[in-house]
């Protein structure tokens, strides 16, 4: 990728501690991570190692205990809740393991949701929704409700929703975790295409070596620290 | 940002999920419908009673009482005084003289048709002009009583409520026997709850000598009231006061209507408290059931306020559905339903109809909306405060 040199995500000296009653749980300690623009990064590690926690920090869904998270030129740790919400709407797309679609809305309405946070007209929104559904290959399912779609199709709706605002960064938390091998592979191909053809920077949490093989780089999280090698 | 369309979008899909939460939604709707029905029901009694008491009051009919008396019950006037009142300027006249009726009344006990137990009915002695002084008095069956005879005519409301008030029937009350010769209506007013006879017959029957309790007079026009009142005050031989009939009746019904209203509002407030907890519960579980959806919306970038508003909107919508159902139910079940109650000033039975006014319905529905608002507020705030990353973990 031509834009591959700039750093898009910079996580610096991040600590994250949760309180569970009187007990403190140190999940991330002194964590550093740079994600260059245009990278498709796979984040692996055992269950409970803090992968989701790290992803949420990068996505502005949670705050660091100490340390900074910088996306492009913006410091997430210095933003107010309101600023963070507006920032998320413009710059990130989330893809969830269980799709998190609104059961009461059909596919195109689900995909349209992030566009309600923009100034686009109804007609413009419709066009963007159509494009996003085309990209994921689901135009023919636009009027379907989530419960009438297969898991793979639901996840494609989820991806369409994540890319409909054309964000720079896609954050995927085990996007194939709930899918069979074949549907999972289709989703991975789709993510790969988004990365290669549209230059999306992707951070994907996964347990599946199959999935991480599609990424341009894989990092491992264990005991609050990252490493480039799979720990023994 | 497109704030309104955010709210609308979130609210619409909230509303669409109601069928998945039928049980608790219906509980809320029914609870609020019940509150509203009771509220409307009780207050329609007050409205109906007020209407019954004041409908016949007109602004060209005055009632004259002894000064210091606050009702006919504790007023007294001599024949001489009633003559002086007849000569006061402002009183309308016809060929036979002043349009004025000197009246007295006693309470008699008659058995109710419904229960057979005795209750008070006012037996009013009136002058021969009584019907022309008042508006809307009409004999609907039988005939007018004859002067000088033990004959009575019964108001339609009294005739409905009390056994024995049928045309042709003879009533024994104390030492006296009265023949019912007619039934009259009075435009739904308080006169309909009374029984009338000739004042000159009633006086000796109850040892009242030649005294009265009130004078009803028709004025030449509503504008002559001030002239009439001032002329009465200027006459040193008269210690009396004049009130427009309308004001007098409103005054007389005040104690009972405000009692009913107080009790009604009290009962309704208690029920409303119950309905409020119902609504709170419904909305808390609605928020709990949608925790992950709400968190997803927040992750996408939706602000806290569309979430708050959409929860409130849903709660208010449910409440209004309940409110409208309850109000409609009360209206169809109760409006115009005839019944009677005791007037606390005279302890006599007053016939009236439940009166469900549009204002009452509007008020009830507003109350319902307020319950919905309050019931949705805390759940809405909880929804908005959910920490996103924690809420996303919920399955
Ligand atoms: N809000 C929270 N409050 C308390 N503890 C938390 C919270 N969120 C996460 N944790 C704890 O932090 C640790 C890391 O959790 P996290 O979900 O990031 O792990 P993960 O690597 O994503 O695991 P998995 O592979 O099972 O999804 C776990 O021990 C978890 O219990
Ligand atoms: Mg996780």
Please indicate, yes or no, whether residues B223 and B364 belong to a single structural domain of this protein.
no
Q: Which residues contact A8 (CB under 8 A, 6 or more apart)?
A: A35, A36, A37, A38, A39, A71, A72, A168, A169, A201
CB contact under 8 A, A86 and B299: no
Residue nearest to atom 1 of ligand 1 (CA): B390
Please indicate, yes or no, whether residues B148 and B187 belong to a single structural domain of this protein.
yes
Residue B125: the pLDDT is 94
What domain count does chain B have? Answer: 2
Please indicate, yes or no, whether residues B338 and B388 belong to a single structural domain of this protein.
yes
Please indicate, yes or no, whether residues B154 and B40 belong to a single structural domain of this protein.
no
**What are phi and psi for residue A13, nearest 5 degrees?**
50, 45
Cβ count near B124 (within 10 Å) = 23
End position of a domain, from candidates B209, B238, B267: B238
Yes or no: say if B330 and B36 are a contact pair by the CB < 8 Å rule.
yes
End position of a domain, from candidates B194, B213, B238: B238
Render pLDDT for A76-103 as a digit per residue (tens, 0 to 9): 999 998 899 999 999 999 999 999 998 8
Please indicate, yes or no, whether residues B310 and B219 belong to a single structural domain of this protein.
no
Residue A2: the pLDDT is 45
Average pLDDT of each block of 10 consecutive residues along chain B (395 residues)?
A: 72 76 82 84 77 72 89 89 90 88 91 86 91 87 94 92 91 89 83 91 91 93 89 89 84 76 81 81 80 90 86 87 88 70 53 75 88 88 86 80
Render pLDDT for A206-224 as a digit per residue (tens, 0 to 9): 999 989 999 999 999 988 8
Yes or no: say if B193 and B146 are a contact pair by the CB < 8 Å rule.
no
Q: Which residues contact B348 (CB under 8 A, 6 or more apart)?
A: B107, B120, B121, B122, B193, B194, B342
**What are phi and psi for residue B174, nearest 5 degrees?**
60, -130
Residue B338: the pLDDT is 63
Domains of chain A are: 7-226 (3.40.50.300)
Which of B121, B91, B123 has the alpha carbon at shortest distance from B104? Answer: B123
Residue B56: the pLDDT is 61
Please indicate, yes or no, whether residues B43 and B72 belong to a single structural domain of this protein.
no
Residue A1: the pLDDT is 42
Domain that holds residue B11: 2-54+252-393
Residue A187: the pLDDT is 93
Shortest alpha-carbon distance between residue B31 and chain A (Å): 26
> Is residue B108 situated within a structural domain?
yes
Please indicate, yes or no, whether residues B96 and B202 belong to a single structural domain of this protein.
yes
End position of a domain, from candidates B216, B238, B260: B238
DSSP B228-290: HHHHHHH-TT--EEEEEHHHHHHHHHHHHHHHHHHHHHHHHHHHHHHHHHHHHHHHHHHHHHT
Q: Which among A62, A102, A161 has CB closest to B293?
A: A102
- Set of chain A residues whose Cβ sits within 8 Å of the Cβ of B1: 86, 117-119
Residue A33: the pLDDT is 94
Please indicate, yes or no, whether residues B31 and B76 belong to a single structural domain of this protein.
no
Structure tokens at B279: 């609504």
Residue nearest to atom 22 of ligand 1 (CA): A52
Residue B340: the pLDDT is 59
Interval between CA A80 and ligand 2 midpoint (Å): 25
Please indicate, yes or no, whether residues B275 and B356 belong to a single structural domain of this protein.
yes
> Is residue B127 situated within a structural domain?
yes
Structure tokens at B372: 């919905």
CB contact under 8 A, B300 and A117: yes
Please indicate, yes or no, whether residues B219 and B317 belong to a single structural domain of this protein.
no
Interval between CA B303 and ligand 1 midpoint (Å): 25
Residue B277: the pLDDT is 83
Between CA B280 and CA B311, with CA A109 as vertex, the angle to 5 degrees is 15
């Amino acid at each position: 990728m031509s834009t591959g040199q700039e750093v898009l995500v910079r996580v610096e000296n991040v600590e994250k501690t949760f309180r569970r009653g009187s007990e403190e749980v140190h999940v991330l300690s002194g964590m550093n991570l740079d994600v260059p623009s245009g990278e498709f990064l796979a984040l692996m590690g055992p269950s409970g190692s803090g992968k989701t926690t790290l992803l949420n920090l990068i996505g502005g869904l949670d705050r660091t205990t100490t340390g900074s998270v910088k996306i492009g030129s913006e410091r997430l740790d210095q933003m107010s809740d309101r600023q963070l919400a507006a920032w998320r709407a413009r710059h990130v797309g989330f893809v969830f393991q269980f799709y998190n679609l609104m059961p009461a809305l059909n596919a195109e309405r689900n995909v349209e949701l992030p566009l309600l946070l923009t100034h686009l007209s109804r007609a413009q929104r419709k066009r963007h929704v159509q494009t996003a559904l085309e990209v994921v290959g689901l135009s023919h399912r636009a009027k379907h409700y989530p419960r009438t779609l297969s898991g793979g199709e639901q996840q494609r709706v989820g991806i369409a929703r994540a890319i409909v605002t054309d964000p720079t960064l896609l954050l995927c938390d085990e996007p194939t975790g709930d899918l069979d091998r074949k549907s999972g592979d289709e989703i991975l191909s789709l993510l790969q295409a988004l990365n290669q053809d549209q230059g999306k920077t992707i951070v994907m949490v996964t347990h599946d070596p199959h999935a991480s093989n599609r990424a341009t780089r894989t990092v491992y999280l264990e005991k609050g620290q990252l490493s480039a090698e799979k720990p023994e | 940002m497109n704030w309104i369309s955010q709210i609308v979008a979130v609210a619409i899909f909230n509303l669409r999920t109601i069928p998945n939460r039928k049980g608790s939604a219906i509980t809320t709707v029914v609870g609020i419908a019940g509150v509203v029905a009771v509220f409307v029901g009780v207050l329609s009694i007050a409205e109906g009673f007020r209407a019954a008491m004041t409908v016949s009051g007109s602004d060209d009919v005055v009632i004259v009482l002894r000064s210091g008396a606050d009702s006919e019950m504790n007023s007294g006037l001599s024949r001489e005084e009633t003559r002086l009142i007849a000569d006061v300027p402002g009183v309308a006249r016809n060929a036979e003289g002043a349009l004025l009726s000197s009246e007295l009344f006693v309470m008699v006990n008659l058995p109710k048709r419904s229960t057979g137990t005795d209750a008070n009915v006012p037996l009013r002695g009136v002058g021969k002009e009584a019907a022309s002084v008042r508006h809307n008095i009409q004999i609907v069956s039988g005939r007018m009583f004859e002067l000088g005879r033990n004959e009575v005519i019964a108001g339609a409301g009294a005739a409905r409520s009390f056994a024995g008030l049928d045309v042709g029937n003879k009533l024994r009350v104390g030492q006296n026997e009265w023949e019912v010769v007619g039934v009259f209506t009075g435009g739904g007013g308080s006169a309909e709850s009374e029984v009338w006879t000739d004042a000159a017959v009633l006086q000796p029957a109850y040892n009242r000598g030649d005294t009265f309790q009130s004078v009803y007079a028709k004025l030449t026009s509503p504008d002559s009231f001030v002239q009439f009142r001032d002329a009465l005050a200027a006459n040193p031989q008269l210690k009396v006061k004049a009130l427009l009939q309308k004001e007098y009746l409103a005054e007389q019904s005040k104690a009972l209507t405000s009692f009913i209203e107080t009790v009604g509002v009290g009962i309704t407030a208690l029920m409303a408290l119950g309905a409020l907890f119902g609504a709170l519960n419904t909305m808390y579980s609605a928020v709990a059931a949608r925790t992950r959806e709400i968190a997803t919306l927040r992750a996408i970038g939706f602000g806290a306020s569309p979430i708050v508003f959409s929860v409130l909107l849903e709660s208010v919508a449910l409440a209004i559905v309940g409110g409208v159902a309850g109000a409609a139910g009360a209206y169809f079940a109760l409006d115009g339903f005839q019944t009677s109650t005791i007037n606390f000033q005279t302890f006599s039975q007053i016939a009236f109809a439940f009166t469900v006014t549009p204002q009452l319905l509007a008020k009830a529905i507003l109350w319902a909306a307020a319950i919905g608002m309050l019931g949705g507020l805390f759940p809405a705030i909880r929804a908005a405060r959910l920490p996103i990353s924690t809420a996303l973990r919920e399955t």
